[in-house]
A = this chain, B = another copy of it.
């Protein structure tokens, strides 16, 4: 089973390479009756789109999405939705020099060892350009979750290098090109990115995702827990090297008496768990942190080998982001939304009858 699909009931399958003809996807299992037009999707795509600010890659992809199926007279029909984005700003010639080289930190070597062949133009299938489709489908998932359940899924930049961005309100997040929630850190971030661009280097980051109003009961023990499926979906984003749910790695130093979230008549009195207990949502805010590695596409020379086994020096040209953590935010929101809608559908498949039992008491 090749791995280009995710989700069980709300199921996304993507295709396309960085410098191919187009990127596309099918999303199967979308509930019927949801109003949906291309601009619903486009607005999230634009948040991810390159060339939007001086802080990301200067590549200019229009990333104009087209709905090919599954929507009739502006409403979803329940049949699979096909989406397509044509690739426009492709400069494949940038890559001819590296066709027999393995760029350090990239998937060139591993794709070659797996398939015996690779599309070397811009990383081919391994390029983060594939994530446009995740963002597009995430917009559909978000719309449904918000419309039917008032669920809100949002992300922000919590750390870049050693700059920690404290959360000071969602209003701040959309006011700057870093998705930074702390207005005092904008100048520092700006300076850091400009220096990295000058030196041809890149930097890591931490992204935080918050999901509010997720109903309790979502998640399928024992393997397809909500946290496990979130970990899967988020770790599948390019450059992610770590995942935390709730207190995450801080739990190592905690006592049981500190960590456990007690309950009172008004609900939980703390949220160390990050909204998930035993793999099932508990109705609290779901909080996730992601560690994003610095992109390996930098202009500082590095050592590598060719597929013929020769040692060479390499400079990764092309036009790249100094910090992929910025554009990863809409992608991580999208993956979170895709997992949550999938579990919502899974939950109502099995447990539609259980509501009466619960209502008997609580």
Contacts and interface: CB of A to CB of B under 8 A. Distances in A.
A118 B260 contact: no
A233 interface: yes
B32 A117 contact: yes
A351 B352 CA distance: 12
Contacts of A362: 112-113, 307-309
A344 to B, nearest CB: 9
A116 B277 CA distance: 16
A33 B116 contact: yes
A263 B102 contact: yes
A183 interface: no
Interface stretch (A21-29, A42-50, A171-179): A21-29
Contacts of A245: 235, 241-242
Q: Point out which of A242, A274, A305 has the most chain B C-beta atoms below 10 A from its C-beta.
A: A242
Interface in A109-156: 109-119, 124-126, 130, 148
Interface string A341-362: 0000111111111111110111
B283 A113 contact: yes
Nearest to A78: B115
A322 to B, nearest CB: 8
A243 B231 contact: yes
A68 B254 contact: no
A292 B119 CA distance: 40
Nearest to A126: B278
Contact of A202 (B160, B256, B361): B256
B277 A357 contact: no
Contact of A82 (B22, B203, B261, B350): B22
Contact of A254 (B273, B294, B305): B294
Contacts of A201: 255-257
B110 A15 contact: no
Contact of A2 (B113, B217, B220, B302): B220
B32 A68 contact: no
A262 B103 CA distance: 8
Interface in A275-290: 276-283
30 contacts: A2-B80, A2-B224, A3-B221, A4-B28, A4-B221, A14-B80, A15-B68, A25-B26, A30-B350, A31-B350, A75-B117, A78-B117, A104-B260, A105-B273, A110-B278, A111-B278, A113-B283, A116-B351, A204-B252, A223-B236, A225-B235, A225-B236, A228-B233, A232-B235, A241-B245, A242-B242, A257-B300, A258-B294, A308-B361, A348-B349
Given A104-B261, A111-B280, A257-B298, 11 more contacts: A2-B220, A13-B26, A78-B351, A107-B279, A110-B281, A114-B217, A114-B347, A159-B252, A204-B251, A242-B249, A242-B251
